Amino acid sequence: MRVKVDASKCQGHARCWTWAPNLFHLNDEGYLDPGDIDVPENEELNARRAVKGCPERALTLEE
């Protein structure tokens, strides 16, 4: 599973980080940097929640 990140849409709500702090690294200004994220199996549930939690629709799931 991968999470596709559209960093231009990220506005730093940090909802992804709340669900999965180990997957989503916010930079000093609080935004996600560009770059898709590989999801290890044990984080799949949290990754799904993170994607569904992003108000800006900056994240999409690729299974």
Partner 1 sequence: MRAVAHPIPDHVPETLVGQFNLFTAPGMTPTPMGDPHAAIGMLLSGPPIFFAPGNTRNGEGTWVVVRAEDQRHVLQDGVTFSSNRNIFSSALGEDWPMIPLEIDPPAHGHWRSLLNPLLSPRRVMHLEPIVRQRAVDLIEGIKAKGTSCDVMQDFCFPFAVSIFLQFLGIGWERLHEFVDWANDLLHGTPAERTAAAHTIVAFLDDLRDLRRQEPTDDFMTFVTQAEIEGRPLTDLEVRGMAVLLFIAGLDTVAAAIGFDLYYLAQNIEQQNSLRAEPDRILLAAEEMLRAFPTVTPVRRATRDVEIHSVLIRAGDLIACPSMTANRDPKEFSDPDQIILDREDNRHVAFAYGPHRCLGSHLARREIVIGLEEWLARIPEFHIKSGSTPMTHGGFVFGVENLMLDWSAKEAN
Binding site for ligand SF4 (CB under 6 A): 10-16, 24, 32, 53-54, 56, 58-59
Query: What are the structure tokens assigned to 10, written together?
Result: 């990220």
Q: Which of residues 2-61 bind partner 1 (CB under 8 A)?
A: 9, 11-15, 17-18, 26, 28-31, 49, 52-57
Question: Alpha helix (H) ranges present in 1-63?
Answer: 15-19, 44-53
Query: Which listed option, partner 1, ligand SF4, none, makes contact with residue 49 (CB within 5 to 8 Å by class)?
Result: partner 1
**Spatial distance between the Cα atoms of 57 and 4, rounded to a whole number of angstroms:** 11
In the complex, minimum distance from the CB of residue 43 to ligand SF4, in angstroms, rounded to a whole number: 15
